[in-house]
A and B are shown apart, each in its own frame.
Chain A
């Protein structure tokens, strides 16, 4: 459903993405790993239309994404979370999820949307926080709100940027279950950036490894874990 060819993005002299190819199937769960500064978030920004590519082509369900605005891409069915959460701070949690709900292509009654919003907040574990201002949430809750909002766009493809950071072992387990559930039960394709290796290696079908803006390799978690290039990239020279 998502196809990217020769993706490049330069910031001044820095090549944050250099000739990256990517291809995702419907309902797949793909991990995206790589050392800090490898260009993972940049790839998300490019797919989600936060900025335009320096060169390369992106396609989603046969439609070109090049030059499309972020809100347009969202409506095509791609949702993303931000590595550093960006809640609507002065709005309640319920209002936060209401924003994507009222901007979906087919909008229903406000009461039905509010109901759906409450259910999704419940689903991510913010069930009792409906009327709390988003700025009052702690980091873990803010990450959950990111996820809830993204789900409210009704995505076919979900881009998750380090959603496990700051969670304890138990919470990680619950979050991983939730993500696996999204791809298996709801058929949502997930592209997932994570630093918590154990979690992502256990859950993802395939892993893409980025290093210094380039795609180092792609394979099953097994293959990736034993690849000398990956070990080298992570451990240094």
Chain B
């Protein structure tokens, strides 16, 4: 079973490795965006799906990663190859702080507080025009000397694989077990020796760092960092991808990210309603199929094997 999984993963990664050969420039762009959302959804899932802390500041952390690196590049001439790790670090530190801030909260209170954090971040970007260029966006240098879609595809692919490996390792280790224990019942977990404070803050820190990484790489691919990256639209898109794909499973957010991003490319022609549509689908999924597409497929399989 374990071997089949490893082989399957290798085949998929291998296919992705040769994918750019068969795609035109536009399709390559879509794949890069897909990989960005894979990172965003998978890291949000680590926090929301595994510890039950439904944060609305995840897109803001992508913004922290992107703006940190972008501003360092523009103002100090720092290479994005150094700026992005610093952005990740900064996102981790702020994530740690927000995790501490939200320690005594759960459910809707935590969501509203993180929504507030996200708004504060927005206000800062819009008001510090001199530094951030506000809604105009910050023009930043790229990661490659010579611009190449294929090059960026591979950078994004490697980053996404590294992120997914970190997440996979976490959820299958003792840490992941503690994550789920805390999500199921914090008081019971504490009574059984789980350091609830450490676990909750750890989830926030790692999840935020990975969002910062995704945002940083994405920003230096786009060459223009705008408040679009940390926007609420983005946040709800990531949330929809995770819920529709399957919250609390490793593969769910990956499936959700690809499906919704590719779909939204088709819907885009009809105006910018896709986030709304996805939001509504996610809402009804959360109500009627809380384990998402992955849960539906698993249930279908279970039924077939018993009948």
Contacts and interface: CB of A to CB of B under 8 A. Distances in A.
Interface of A: 48-50, 69-71, 74-75, 79-80, 82, 86-91, 95, 98-100, 102-104, 107, 149-150, 152-153
A104 B188 contact: no
Interface residues of B, number: 19
B181 A91 contact: yes
B190 A69 contact: yes
Interface stretch (B7-15, B59-67, B192-200, B204-212): B192-200
A150 B188 CA distance: 10
B177 A98 contact: yes
A177 to B, nearest CB: 25
A111 to B, nearest CB: 13
B150 to A, nearest CB: 41
Contacts of B187: 50, 70, 86
B191 interface: yes
Contacts of B193: 71, 74-75, 100, 103-104, 153
A89 B188 CA distance: 11
B189 interface: yes
B305 interface: no
B185 A88 contact: yes
Nearest to A103: B193
B189 A99 contact: yes
B178 A103 contact: yes
Contacts of A80: 191
A50 B191 contact: yes
Contacts of B184: 87-91
B188 A103 contact: no
Nearest to B189: A99
Contacts of B189: 71, 88, 99
Contact of B185 (A49, A69, A86, A102): A86
Given A50-B190, A82-B191, A100-B193, 18 more contacts: A50-B187, A69-B195, A70-B187, A70-B190, A71-B189, A71-B190, A71-B191, A71-B192, A74-B190, A90-B180, A90-B183, A90-B184, A91-B184, A95-B180, A100-B192, A103-B192, A103-B193, A150-B192
Nearest to B174: A102
Contacts of B183: 90
Contacts of B191: 48, 50, 70-71, 74, 79-80, 82
A152 to B, nearest CB: 8
Contact of B192 (A50, A69, A74): A74
A71 B194 contact: yes
A202 to B, nearest CB: 28
Given A98-B177, A99-B177, A87 B196 contact: no
A195 B276 CA distance: 55
Nearest to A89: B184
A100 B192 CA distance: 5
Q: Chain B CB within 10 Å — which of A86, A90, A104 has the most?
A: A86
30 contacts: A49-B190, A50-B190, A50-B191, A69-B190, A70-B187, A71-B191, A75-B193, A79-B192, A82-B191, A86-B187, A87-B185, A88-B185, A88-B188, A89-B184, A90-B180, A91-B180, A91-B181, A98-B177, A102-B174, A103-B174, A103-B178, A103-B192, A103-B193, A103-B194, A103-B195, A104-B193, A149-B188, A149-B192, A150-B192, A153-B192
